[in-house]
Chain A
Amino acid sequence: MKALAEVSLEIPRGATVAFVGPSGCGKSTLLKLVAGLLAVTGGAVVVDGRPVTGPLKNVGMAFQNPVLLPWRTVLDNLMLPLEILRENGDPRAGDRQTWRDRALTLLDTVGLAGAGDRQPRELSGGMRQRVSLCRALIHEPALLLLDEPFAALDAFTREEMWELYRELRRAREFTGVLVTHDLREAVFLAQTIYVMSSNPGSVAHVHEVKMASPRTLEQLFSAEATELIRLMREQIRPRREALA
C-alpha cells in the first residue's frame, strides 16, 4: 500500500514547518522518510544536499510518548546519546564533562534545573516530555523531528511547551519539522504549514504563517491567526467526512 504520493517540498534551513491533516494521511511516514528510518520506494529525500539512504545521524526526534529509560535518572537519560556517539567513535561525542554541562544547561532552559538526579517516574507528563525534548537536542542536531510531541499533555501544559520550543529555538539554530493534529500549535510554532490529505497522503494546501516572530500566545487570538485556523479546519474537515 502506498502511504504517500506526490509530496514535493523544500524546507529552508533554520525554519520550522508543520504538517497537519487527518489521521492516516502519512504525516508520520513523511517524518520517518526524512529521518531515513524508512526507505523511499520512489522519489528522493535530500537533507543538507545529500540524498537520504539510511538513518540520518544529525537528527533529534521526540514523540508523543516521551520513552525515557525508567532505570536511569533524568541526567543519565540525557547522557545516553553521548554513550552511543562515543562507542561509535563519532567526533561529536566530546568529553563527558562537556555533555554534562550541556545537559544541565538544557534542563535549566526547559525549567527543570535540579531535576537531573530524579527518576523519570517521579516526573509529570509535561516534565517527561521536556526531558524528551532535551534528549532530542543534546547532540545539537541540525534537524529536529517532532511527531505530535505535545498531544498527550493538557491544554495549559501544551501552551507552555510551545513557548518552551520557541525559547529553545531562540537559544539554538535548528530546523524543525513538526507533525501535529493541533492547528493552533502549528500556527504558533511554524513558518509554513502543510495541510495533508489522505489515501494516499499528499500535500493539499500550503500556508505561510505571516505573524511576526517571536510569537506570543496572545497572537493566536488575532484575527489573522483565527482566520487561518478556521480555513485549515475547513480544508481538513471535508476529507474526514469523505473518509467516514
Chain B
Amino acid sequence: MTTRSRRIVLPLLIFGALLLLWEAAVPLFRIQQIVLPAPSGIAHTMVVTAGPIAFHARHTLVTTLIGFGAAVGLGLLLGFAIGASATVRDALYPLLVAFNSIPKAAVVPLLVMWFGIGAVPAVLTAFLLAFFPVAVNVAVGLATLEAELSDVLRVLGASRWQIFRKVGVPRTMPLFFASLKVAVSSAFVGSVISETVASNAGIGYLMAVAASDFNTRLAFGGLFVLGAMGVLLYGVFAVIERRMTAWAYAD
C-alpha cells in the first residue's frame, strides 16, 4: 500500500472500528437512546432527515465561506502591512494579539443585538475568527525575508515595491496557503457557534433545535455532518496548498 493511501485507509479503518465498538456498547451497557443513540439509529435519522440536513449544511457552508473570504482579504492586507513595515507592526501587532485573545463566542450576543438573528452574525463571527491566522502567517513570511536577498536586488536598483512583488509575495505563499487551512476551520467554528446561539438556519441551529426537542439522534447527526464538513473544508485547502506551492515541499 502506498503511503498516500495508507494515510486515508488507516484512519478510516479506525473510525469504522470505533463506530462498531459504539454500536455494540449501547445495547451491552443498556444505554438509553436519549442519552447515547447507537450509530445505526443516528444513520437512520440522517437518511430520513437528509433534506433538511442538506439545507442547513448548505447554509452553514455559505456563511462560513463568506466570512472566510472576507477574512482572507483583510488578513492579507493586514499581513502585508505588518510584514512590510516595522512601524505598522509595532503599532498593530499587540492590538491584534489582544483582540485575538477575546473568545469570539462572547461577541455573538453583541452582533445579534446589532444585526438581529440570522446569517449576518454567523458570517461576522466566522470572519472574526479567521482573519488572524492569515494575517500572522503572511506577516511572518514577509518579515523573515533574507536581508542578503534584498541587498542583491537593491544593488540592481530594485525598489521596495519590486522586492515585495518579486520576492516577498511568492516567498510568503506557502505560509499563506498553510494559513488558509487553519482559517477555514476557524471560520467554520465561528459560524456554527453563532448559528447555535442566534440563527434560524444552519447546522448549528439544527443541533440547537434537536437538543431542545431531546432529539439526541438528530443532534448526533448534526455533529457527524459538521465533522465531515470540517474535514472536507480542511482537505480542500490542504490540496490547494500542495498544488500552489509545490516548491516548498520538495523533500
Contacts and interface: CB of A to CB of B under 8 A. Distances in A.
Interface string A135-172: 11001000001000000000000000000000000000
Interface in A121-135: 121-122, 135
Interface in A18-52: 32, 35-37
Interface in B97-156: 146, 148-149, 151-156
B180 to A, nearest CB: 18
A15 B171 CA distance: 37
B157 A119 contact: no
B87 interface: no
Contact of A84 (B149, B151, B156, B251): B156
B248 A70 contact: yes
B242 interface: no
A204 interface: no
A57 interface: yes
A102 to B, nearest CB: 15
Nearest to A64: B148
A59 B155 CA distance: 6
A67 B171 CA distance: 12
A81 B166 CA distance: 10
Q: Which of A63, A119, A136 has the most CB of B within 10 A?
A: A63
Interface in B155-203: 155-159, 162, 166-167, 170-171, 173
B250 A121 contact: yes
Contacts of B251: 121
B148 A57 contact: no
A67 B146 contact: yes
A37 B163 CA distance: 15
A244 to B, nearest CB: 28
Nearest to B161: A87
Q: Which of A55, A65, A136 has the most CB of B within 10 A?
A: A55
A117 to B, nearest CB: 14
Interface in A191-234: none
A68 to B, nearest CB: 9
A142 to B, nearest CB: 12
Given A65-B148, A87-B162, A121-B250, A60 B155 contact: yes
Per DSSP, chain B at the interface is: helix
Contact of B154 (A37, A63, A85, A122): A37
Contact of B152 (A57, A61, A85, A121): A61
B146 A83 contact: no
Contacts of A69: 149, 167, 170-171
A81 B156 contact: yes
A67 B152 contact: yes
B151 A61 contact: yes
Contact of A65 (B146, B167, B245): B146
Contacts of B158: 84, 88
Interface string B232-250: 0000000000000101101
A180 B116 CA distance: 68
B247 A55 contact: no
Interface string A61-105: 111010101110000000011011101101000000000000000
A57 B250 contact: no
Nearest to A88: B157
A83 B166 contact: yes
A80 B157 contact: no
A235 to B, nearest CB: 29
B157 A35 contact: no
Given A63-B148, A69-B167, A69-B170, A84 B153 contact: yes
Interface in B206-249: 245, 247-248
B165 to A, nearest CB: 9
A56 interface: yes
A122 B250 CA distance: 9
A171 to B, nearest CB: 21
Which 3 residue pairs of A and B lie closest in terms of their CB atoms, listed nearest first? A59-B155, A63-B148, A67-B149
Given A60-B155, A69-B170, 9 more contacts: A35-B151, A61-B151, A63-B152, A70-B247, A71-B248, A81-B153, A87-B162, A88-B157, A121-B251
24 contacts: A32-B151, A35-B151, A36-B155, A37-B154, A55-B157, A57-B155, A57-B157, A59-B155, A61-B155, A65-B146, A69-B167, A69-B170, A71-B170, A80-B153, A83-B166, A84-B156, A84-B158, A85-B156, A87-B162, A119-B247, A119-B250, A135-B152, A139-B156, A145-B155
